Structure 1
Amino acid sequence: MVIYLFIPFTNTQNNQELLSMGTRWVTSFNKDPRGKEPPKLLFHNTGLNKPLNIINQNDTLYILAHGHFNMPGYVANVRNGNCLAMDHTALATILKVSGLPLNHKRVKLYICNASGQMRKFASDFKRTMQNMGYNLIDVYFYDSSVGVPAEFSDGQYHKDGVHFDGGGNVELTPRFRASEVRHRVL
């Protein structure tokens, strides 16, 4: 099983922040003493290239995007300010156009739950994917804000998370593993 990180925005759509996140993720995996295979970073482009057609049925596909506090129901290319946003239908369409095989099973929406609407977004996204023919798809989402893998006190690298209050400010809580707030869409 291979892990893929996919950025659904092109280089002309200001995806530099997301590319930086993906690059830091790969770098952290290279430092992890457990010797896991680092994820492969892919991004959407508008040419004839279909970057997702290399993904096997049982590989894990993480979608890297930002949740936006003021835009419930959308994911964005940047965390704050003027952004390009897309809804669940646009995201599903990009995956299909980018060559994701119809028999693919696992997509993890690695997107901060900034607006508190990620559960609904993920449910709508899964339904749209199924309507497009992805009948085996399992979709996971994170019910908090999440970050790329960072070193924890155990000396290993885990995907990181933080809590935000209703105003979008970081709450002073202990670090937690992102997997603690991961949910599967039923």
Structure 2
Amino acid sequence: RFAARRTVAADTRAPEAVDVRIIAILGEQGGDDILPELYHRISAAKVRMPSLAERRDDIALLFTALVLQTCEDRGCPIPETGDLAHRLASRDWPGNVRELRNFAERICLGLEVDELDSIGTATLNERLDAYERRLIVEALMQTEGEVTRAAEDLGLPRKTFYNRLARLGIDPRALRER
């Protein structure tokens, strides 16, 4: 009714004219998921957004932007990702940008270390850093972000532990808030 008349009735007052645009995102089935009457009213203009698989050249730039945005939102230090952004183009992203955003968030929190090994060819140093990051993040999660206890659990002096946190870009505060 609203789409046909372009009016809205607020409580008992007379209907008021409104000027709105509706933007809807539909899956690959198009209008099969919604009522045909509604689909025909909102389908004035169609824009096809290619999947990430169709625009692999955009993945590195998009990933970098998502990492920066996530780190800013969460107050985390920006992690060192090396050439990871460029290696991501070789991966399929069935969940498209949403999946890439989730991956960027896990990278920022230091939780996606196994993925670093499976994308492209990771160097020995990248694999060692990923393994060390995973152990440190697990220790911090088990101690609810308490650095001293996590360092003790791993058998490291506190100063050494802090140095490794800085080198690996791990923020214990981000893990306390989880």
With the shorter chain as reference, the TM-score category is: under 0.3
TM-score, normalisation: structure 1: 0.22
Max Rg structure: 2
The structure, 1 or 2, with the larger RCO (C-alpha pairs under 8 Å, 6+ apart) is 1
Between structures 1 and 2, the one with greater strand share:
1
TM-score, normalisation: structure 2: 0.23
